[in-house]
Amino acid sequence: MRFSWSTALKIAWREARSSAFKFLFVVLAVAVGIGSLTGVRGFSRAFHQMLSDQARTLMAADLSVRVFDVPTPEQGSVLDDLARHDVERTWITETLTMASSGDSRPMLVSIKAVDPNKYPFYGEIRLDPPAPLRTALTADTIAVSDDILLRLNLKTGDTLSLGGKPFRIVGRVAYEPDRMLGSLNVGPRVMMTREGLDRTGLMLPGSRAAEHFLFRLDPGSPTIEQVRDRLRQAFPEALIADYRESHPIITQSLNRATMFLSLVSLITLIVGAIGVATAIHAHIQQRLDSIAIMKCLGARSAQLIRIYVIQTVALGLTGGLIGVAFGFVVQKAFPQFLKRYFELLPSARLDLLTAAQGIGIAVLATLLFTLPPLLGIRRIRPNLILRREMGETKPNWRRRLIEERASIAAGAFIVLGFAGIAMSFTAGTRADMWKTGEYFTLALGGGLASLSAIAWLMLRGLRALGRRSLPTSLRHGIANLYRPGNHAQSVLVALGIGVMFTLTVYLVQRGVITQMHRTAPPGMPNVFLLDIAPKDRDAVLSLVNQQRGIEGGTDLIGTVAARLLAVDDREIAKMPLKGWVRRFRSPRSVTSAGAMTNYVEVVRGAFWGSAQRPAMPEVCVSDEAAKVLDIDLGSMTRWSINGKEFSARVACIHRIDSVHLISRVEFIFSDGALDGFPVVYYASLRAQPSTVSAFQEALYRSFPTVTVVNLADVLQTFQSVVDQIATVIRFISMFAIVAGAIILSSSVAGTRFRRMREVVILKTLGATRARVSRIFSVEFLILGAVAGLMGALLANGFANLLLERMLDAQVSFPILPSLFAVIATALIANVAGWAASFRILGQKPLEILREE
């Protein structure tokens, strides 16, 4: 007769009945990991689905084109022709400027100028107090975001000045669903009409602004693919998207974030799986006699492994199911983190695919990690119950290596299995997947090995410490760490991973912000003046020179918006430019210079002399642009400015330090090459931070169209974004700590009966409950503190490595965060340990002794 799975299931169920309490903790540890994983991935899928379902509303159109220049006449004719074929369009301009309420300091705001009679094509903009956009917005009125009202202490009906012109506030923008797909989707916002924008006088030739064209395909219009093709030809540099594909930047960012957070969740799951492996190992150790008896009765190793595999799968399945339910709660938390940046957020929903994935991963993870203890069943000899007292010699290390070869292979399989799961989370090409798998394998294998090694060393150190004359409670507490079945090393690794990861995120976040705030290289500007009109140039410079607190000189350059058409007859529009280098298809800010300055380093060729102008325009190209566009000395470049084309020969390749304003300009023309074209000036200067606000006010009073960017404000915005990102990552990585704490509880629960006996014996010998409590607390606190210390040491190491590589930052070891980590982990471990021990103290001694 064959030993069927149903029989194995029956025996597995009977076997597990008495272990429900300790398995509960194991199930919870798995559930935490699956919860964070399915929460992250479920939210991502819901977000993707929302982007798809609400695509038209999010875009406010069927199709959108984004450029950074006003359309040329040729481009305009294409748009007009499309309009004649029932492709309705509306134009939005987004830019930055200064706003003031008169008696307040001016603040930097983003402007969105719309045609309220057409915008939005889909969805609606809701104002508070409610009013239709087409009637609320006129040439003299604006709607603003609530942070403008708060910061400038304004209310509906008050006046806000933009470009020196007054605008009445008709309401707060309560709902703007297409904001997340705009150019400037964070920070204070002003919505106005196009007439209002014209009235401000902010838009000069060459001013920086994002021009956004929205299209609605009315019945009878060409298909969306046809319209897209025409627009692609007319606007080769533009970012074109239609409602069917969502916004590529948003979806790319979402995919990357999902992948990263999924990997963090996977670490939590690994912690949970370590707990399962430890619990199953302990369970099998406690069942040695039962296993030996069953072998005496005729059970084969394969049958017994089948029984315990069923138990493991059941644990994984139960943990997965609970985890999926928990993931639903995690999904609900995400909108809280993102509501500042996204108007429209998906509601939490149970996604079957994500749930199935989560449950599958839970079962796979628990099976993988329990392979080594399950394979150990083969080595349990039935004669164990006849001759336990006869201590045979332990085999030597070579023999043990041979005997453990299956477990070693299982260990390798575990790492590869998880690498495979990590690869499945990767969005991108096959090469990206392999890279993720490779890095994850190294990180997982290396990380676990390091943690295990450090944990082993620390436990050895504690053991040596425990032999010294210490107070009784401390000595017993340390000795308890070595109680058979305590699995202190596994608990340390499990807790240590969570602490290490969470603290690393915090230290990197802190390091990034500190580095940004640190004193910049000497002469580094901290105030930038944008969009200075030629007529205001001298007056602005004069005002700057009169201000207190200005250090050093003012860097001023005049730029012209020019479009590079071709290099040596190779058209830019036809070059295969991808990612950030696509910017060369858009108009670039270029400048001219009569003579070389100290901070422009010519790496090849020669700068033209100041003595006489070259016969034909020459240009010096930045080394990065030269590399990307394959430009060499002598190359002929063809340009267009305001419809006028000209050519310039490449005379040199340059490099500029990052401090000076001119480093933002990649093309420097010879003197005279840009004469006659509209120029806009930019200035940078260094001011004492305490004088910047007064300077901003003085400048705004005289020159309201000049935008002042205070680096401190930019850093603050940057810091709030970094903080938010770090908060989300820490939220997910905290689950790893929770999983570690649960594993501690599980380990304590697994040694429950041993602890009961010890308590009983101690009580019989005269120990009070307080004394016994102290011993247990010492054990849990030491375990937690050691795990916290381990995690803190590794976190500091990893964080410094990352910061040094990313930012060339100085190495530092801030004491307070690490100390907090150690103390917090010790307290968490104490709570977790007592959660699994609370009934032990109340046990009556005779009850236990009678059972002996």
Q: Which residues bind other proteins (CB under 8 A)?
A: 1-4, 6-7, 10-11, 14-15, 17-18, 289-290, 293-303, 378, 381-383, 385-387, 390-393, 851
Residues 698/639, Cβ–Cβ less than 8 Å: no
Q: In the bound complex, what is the minimum distance in angstroms from residue 846's beta carbon to other proteins?
A: 16
d(CA 799, CA 804): 8
Residue 113, token pair as written in the block: 């100028």
Nearest to other proteins of 18, 469 (CB atom): 18
The residue among 3 and 175 lying less far from other proteins, judged by its C-beta, is: 3
The least CB distance from residue 811 to other proteins, in Å, is 50
Q: How far is the CB of 394 from other proteins (least distance, A)?
A: 9
Nearer Cβ to other proteins (808/851) = 851
Distances (CA, A) of 755 to 150, 277, 759, 763: 60, 21, 6, 12
> Which residues of 642-720 form beta strands (DSSP E)?
644-656, 667-670, 680-687, 707-710
| CB of residue 9 to other proteins, shortest distance in Å | 11
Report in angstroms how near the CB of residue 17 gets to other proteins at its nearest: 6
User: Smallest Cα–Cα separation from 699: which of 546, 535, 559?
Assistant: 546
CB of 290 to other proteins, least distance (A): 5
Contacts of 204 (CB under 8 A, 6+ apart): 531, 533, 678, 680, 705
165-175 and 141-144 as β-strands: parallel, antiparallel, unpaired? Answer: parallel
CB closer to other proteins out of 13 and 813? 13
* Complex with other proteins: residue 4 or 764, whichever CB lies closer: 4
Residues 6+ apart with CB under 8 A from 411: 372
**Residues 6+ away with beta carbon under 8 Å from 519:** none
Whichever of 384 and 824 has its CB closer to other proteins, that residue is 384
Q: Are 98 and 706 in contact (CB under 8 A)?
A: yes
Cβ-based neighbours of 91, under 8 Å, separated by 6 or more: 115, 194, 211, 212, 213, 214
Which tokens go with 745? 């509880």
Contact 787, 498 (CB under 8 A): no
Nearest approach, Cβ of residue 285 and other proteins (Å): 15
Q: Where are the alpha helices (DSSP H) in 287-300?
A: 288-296
Phi, psi for residue 657 in degrees, rounded to 5? -60, 160
Q: How far is the CB of 784 from other proteins (least distance, A)?
A: 32
CB nearer to other proteins: give 302 or 595.
Answer: 302
Residue placing its CB nearer to other proteins in the complex, 299 or 789: 299
**Beta carbon of residue 384, minimum distance to other proteins (angstroms, whole number):** 9
Between 15 and 568, CB nearer to other proteins: 15
The torsion angles phi and psi of 557, rounded to 5 degrees, stand at: -135, 150
CB 768 within 8 A of CB 841: no
Length of the chain: 852
In the block, tokens 């959108």 appear at: 64
| Cβ-based nearer residue to other proteins, 352 or 390 | 390
**By the 8 A CB rule, do 356 and 324 touch?**
no
Q: Residue 24 or 835: which CB sits closer to other proteins?
A: 24
**3 state SS of 290:** helix
Q: Strand 667-670 vs strand 618-622: parallel, antiparallel, or unpaired?
A: antiparallel
Identify which of residues 349 and 379 has a Cβ nearer to other proteins in the complex.
Answer: 379
User: To the nearest whole angstrom, how small is the minimum distance from the Cβ of residue 11 to other proteins?
Assistant: 7
The CB-of-256 to other proteins minimum distance in angstroms stands at: 49
**Closest to 750 (Cα-Cα) out of 24, 33, 28, 15:** 24
Largest CA distance in the chain: 110
Least CB distance from residue 22 to other proteins, whole Å? 13
Q: Residue 679: helix, strand or coil by DSSP?
A: coil
The minimum distance between CB 389 and other proteins, in angstroms, equals 11
Buried-state track 355-380, b at ≥16 Cβ within 10 A, e below 16: bebbbebbbbbbbbbbbbbbbbbeeb
**C-beta of 341 vs 753, nearer to other proteins:** 753
Q: What angle separates helix 301-338 from helix 20-53, to the nearest 10 degrees?
A: 50
Please give the angle made by the CA atoms of 292, 294 and 300, to the nearest 5 degrees: 95
Backbone angles phi, psi at 589, to 5 degrees: -80, 120
Min CB(478)–other proteins separation in Å = 28
| Token code pair at residue 727 | 């908060």
Smaller CB separation from other proteins, 45 or 295: 295
- CB closer to other proteins, 103 vs 851: 851
Q: How far is the CB of 307 from other proteins (least distance, A)?
A: 10
Least distance (Å) from other proteins to the CB of residue 407?
18
Task: Please say which residue, 300 or 627, places its beta carbon nearer to other proteins.
Answer: 300
What residues contact residue 437 under an 8 Å CB cut-off, 6+ apart? 419, 420, 422, 423, 426
Location of structure tokens 């017993």: 476
Beta-sheet pairing, 570-571 with 636-641: unpaired
Residues in Cβ contact with 193 at an 8 Å cutoff, skipping those fewer than 6 apart: 113, 114, 115, 116, 137, 138, 139
Q: Residue 5 or 439: which CB sits closer to other proteins?
A: 5
Kindly give, in sequence order, each residue whose CB lies less than 8 Å from that of residue 77, ignoring residues fewer than 6 positions away: none
Looking at the DSSP assignment, which residues form a beta bridge with residue 216? 88
Nearer to other proteins, 385 or 433 (CB): 385
Q: Which helix (H) or strand (E) holds 475?
A: helix 472-480
The pair of three-digit structure tokens given for residue 465, joined into one six-digit string: 């410490």
Q: Are 142 and 160 spatial neighbours (Cβ–Cβ below 8 Å)?
A: yes
